[in-house]
Every structure is written in C-alpha cells, then in structure tokens.
A = this chain, B = another copy of it.
Amino acid sequence: MSDAHAARRERLREYCSASGADAALITRAANVRYLTGCPPCGAALLLTRERAVLALPEDVPPEEAVEREVDEEVTGLPVPAETDAAVAAAEAAARLRVADLAVEEHDLTVDRHRAVGRLAAPARLLDLNRAVERLRVVKDEHELADLRIAAEIADQALGELLESILVGRTERHLAMELERRMIDHGADRAAFPVSVGTGSHSGLERHQPTDRRVEEGDFLTVALGAQYRGYGISTARTFVIGAAPAAWQVELHRLVFRAQRAGREALGPGVEQHVPDDAARSILQAAGHAEHAVHPLGHGIGLEIREAPRLGPADMGKLDNRVPVTVGPGVHLPGRGGVRIEDTLVVRPPEEGGPELLTITTKELLAL
C-alpha cells in the first residue's frame, strides 16, 4: 500500500508543479488519508518537491499510530496536544523556504487560513482547488477491494435484520442493531448514521430514527453503509410489514424500482453525469411525482460518503471508468410514507459487463 500512497503523492506533486505551487498543505482528513494512509486524527501533510512532512498530534495513542501504515518517505513532525497540525506544518513550510504554498480553501476556515498564512510567511498562499478530491475520483484496485468488503458487510447486516421480528420495535433500536451487526462483521464503523423510517417516515433520504414502532402495514425504509479501512458505501431498501401490501404500496415501490433501475442502467464511462438522473427522474415525473423527488440521484463515494462526481440534473461532466457512485431515487408522500432504493455501483464499460453492483441485497418488495 505504501507504494500506492507514494504514487498518489507523485501525482499531486505533478499537479502542483503545473499550477505554479512548490508545495501543498493538505488538511482535509480524507485527503491526508488518501496520500499517507493515516486515519483521521487531526494530522496535516506538507508535500514539497522533495519531502513529505506529516504533522501528527502527539496525543494520539501509540497503538493507533502503529496502525497508520505511514511509509518511510514520510517524515513525522510531532505536534503538541491542543496545537493545530496545519499551523505546525505551515511553520515547517517556512523553514523549508517554500515560496508558493497551495492550501485547501474548501477545508480551512478563515481563521485557520489566516494563522497558516502568518506562520508560512514569506510563502504566498494559493488555492489547491480540490486537486486531491479530483485525484480520488477514479479508484485503484486496493480501493475497490475495500469498497467491496464494505458493501458485503452492509448486506450481511441487512440480511440478518430481515430474518428477525420487526413489528413492535422502534426505529432507533433497529438502527442501533444494524450498526452493531456491521461492526460485528468487521466494519470500522457505520459510514453514516443508520436511518430507519417506518410508516409516514418511510422514503425520506435523511430521516433520523425516532421512537416510533414498526406496525403492520407500514412501509419500512432502511438506509445504511459500512466503512471498511476508511472506505464507505451506502445502500437503502424499502420493505412492507405484514402479509399483504396495499395496492398503492405495490405501485409506488414498482415505480421507484423502475426509476432506480433506469438510473443504474444509464451509468457508463463517458456518460454525462446528469444522464442517470434524467433517466430516473423522467420516470418519476411521468407518474406525477416530480415534486416528491428533490435530491440528486446520487454521488461519488469512497473515503467520504459524498464525494465527486455528483449525479444531479445540472451536473455536466462525464463519468470515468472505475468510479463508485450511489444511485438512490426516492419518493416520499407527506403523511403517508414512501420508498427509497439505493445501491452503490462501480462505473464499468459494457465490455466489462457494465456497472458493477456492490450492494446485492434484493430490491424486491419483501413483505416481512
């Protein structure tokens, strides 16, 4: 893995050279991890043409420091407890006579940016323009392997939940149980707070679980994701509770299923980012649900749960090969509930069999 990190740093150095910076200061946790393997701990990376200096808070327990897999090319710079690692890295930049330092203006607050500028002086601060985020879009085989494991863990946890009794249990308890099961199966943690919505809460994208109990006849929407070695996936399914779903439930589920499939099938290298959203949204619109589907269809996913590229109606770039994305349309009818179905898939060309589905739990309307 340390070879992969070194190769990523080399690509960032090339970007910096081309954009007129002689060093970059990386502060965003996912970007530091991408370039060094160091898990989130408040570290900051200074990358010059010749050196890589990782400013590391001293109070991280030694056991965790060992797990960091930081390779030998990276010099550790211990940072006293309660000190901003970015500021320590800025001081190092001044010592190393950096002239033009590219920083992450989408991550640094105005306060921290000011402190970094003061300590890095006489270096001039530039914006790195999300260069590391752009490097992160296309995943390598190590990353795809971790994403596959993360998806398998979420599928296992969900599968086990479906075999248990659900009626009478609260959204909160179901969410906690899913989180526990993912950790039991080897997840670092839940990639985002598990969402469980039943009855009128079903079909919402970011519903925070409440004490509402699952009842006969409810729609039940579950959205979960595991994180494995830093890489997360996201999946959502909607089920119905009891033997016989109502006609409107069958119809709404079929509609969202069709929209989700259209979105998945539209994925491919070279496809414009808005095309999968168009494909899914037009189906929902034709059925009169335009105003009930307010979110973009999906987004990239990896070290952050939402990352580039976004798959929304106004997103104009083109998809690349080996980009993991979510595809998750939903319809929520206020007061009644709704359906969400989401997968994580990897964009692949037709000659490789098209999009690779990572989250394989059935999308049929199970009656539980």
Binding site for B on A (CB under 8 A): 58-64, 80-82, 105-111, 113-114, 127, 172, 176, 179-180, 183, 200-201, 204-208, 210, 294-296, 312, 332, 334
Contacts and interface: CB of A to CB of B under 8 A. Distances in A.
B296 A82 contact: yes
Which residue, of A63, A179, A210, has the highest number of chain B Cβ atoms within 10 A? A63
Contact of A58 (B60, B111, B210, B294): B294
A200 B82 CA distance: 23
A239 B95 CA distance: 46
Interface centre among A60, A82, A201, A205 (most CB of B within 10 A): A82
B179 A183 contact: no
21 contacts: A59-B206, A59-B295, A60-B206, A61-B201, A61-B204, A61-B206, A61-B332, A63-B200, A63-B210, A105-B110, A105-B111, A106-B109, A106-B110, A106-B111, A107-B109, A108-B109, A110-B110, A110-B127, A172-B183, A176-B176, A176-B180
Contact of A109 (B110, B201, B206): B110
Contact of A82 (B63, B179, B183, B312): B312
Q: A106, A110, A296: which has the most chain B beta carbons within 10 Å?
A: A110
Given A295-B81, A296-B82, A63 B201 contact: yes
Contacts of A207: 61
A311 to B, nearest CB: 12
Nearest to A208: B64
A312 to B, nearest CB: 7
B334 A82 contact: no
Contacts of A172: 183
A208 B205 CA distance: 29
Contacts of A60: 206
B295 A82 contact: yes
Contacts of A332: 61
Given A62-B334, A82-B295, 6 more contacts: A61-B207, A63-B210, A82-B296, A106-B109, A109-B109, A172-B183
Contacts of A106: 109-111
A195 B127 CA distance: 37
Contacts of A61: 201, 204, 206-207, 332
A113 to B, nearest CB: 5
Nearest 5 CB-CB pairings of A with B: A105-B110, A106-B111, A81-B294, A61-B204, A110-B113
Contacts of A109: 105-110
Nearest to A59: B294
Contacts of A80: 294
Contacts of A180: 176
A25 to B, nearest CB: 13
A197 to B, nearest CB: 8
Contacts of A62: 334
A59 B293 CA distance: 10
Contacts of A110: 105-106, 108-110, 113, 127
B296 A59 contact: no
Contacts of A208: 64
Nearest to A197: B61
A345 to B, nearest CB: 21
